[in-house]
Amino acid sequence: MHDLGGRQGFGRVEAEPDEPPFHQPWEGRVHGMSETADVGPGFRHAIERMEPAAYLTTSYYEHWLESIETRGIEHGFFTREDLAAAAERIAAGEPVPQRSDPEAAREARAMLRPRPQSTYTAPAPRYGVGDTVTVVRVLPAGHTRCPGYLRGAQGVVERVHAPMPLLDVYESQDGLVRPEAWYTVAFPAGALWEVERPGHTILVDLWESHLEAT
């Protein structure tokens, strides 16, 4: 359900004035847990596997809660029963336990500052700036960073980027690192849908696996 680009039937975009970063303290706790607790890869894929109606009717941080729970259970860090037992204790009035780990807190702060980046090696990019490319029609099973609205569309390479792990396989295949070149590709919106005039341009970052030569 998450692949929303171009879907119809949604109403106005409703902006909330003076919105705080977290609307409720529990949202901040979930953000902090997600950033600091390692329960394995697949953050987004766990959200994408949510039941569609639930996906659309729950909030961003409920999606995150779902992701931490799902991955923690699937990777064997805890069980559904552990969560239920803890919920019972909290509902009965027990406080959330506290645990101090100054080193983990230091690492958490460092993660939110400029930090060194890994570089990856991969075969030379197959496409160059200005090349016309076609987005694959057959999308991979599981997670993909190729939005469905682009399947089969033709675009022009606007920028070529240094290789990075293809997140399709990283997310779906338990953290498998398979670097490849990726590109910013420009698509005239009129080639995707009948659009309002004048037309506009959509620019999307796609890995080489999402493209074929035209």
Which parts of 121-150 interact with other proteins (CB under 8 A)? 145-147, 149
Tell me the pairing of strands 211-213 and 201-207.
unpaired
The rounded Cα 105 to chain-centroid distance in angstroms is: 24
Give the binding range for other proteins (CB under 8 A) out of 83-91, 121-129, 132-140, 172-180: 83-91
* Closest to 148 measured CA to CA, from 186, 204, 214, 66: 204
Q: Is 120 in the site for other proteins (CB under 8 A)?
A: no
> Which residues are CB-contacts of 78 (< 8 A; sequence separation ≥ 6)?
72
Q: Which of 51, 54, 59, 129 binds other proteins (CB under 8 A)?
A: 59
Give the nearest distance from C-beta 142 to other proteins in angstroms: 13
Near other proteins in 139-198, by CB under 8 A: 145-147, 149, 161, 164, 167, 182, 184, 189, 192-193, 195-198
Q: Is 112 in the site for other proteins (CB under 8 A)?
A: yes
Give the nearest distance from C-beta 48 to other proteins in angstroms: 8
Q: Is 19 in the site for other proteins (CB under 8 A)?
A: yes
Q: Residue 33: enclosing H or E segment and its boundaries?
A: helix 25-36
Q: Is 205 in the site for other proteins (CB under 8 A)?
A: yes
CB 37 within 8 A of CB 65: no
- As a whole number of angstroms, the distance between CA 184 and CA 204 comes to 5
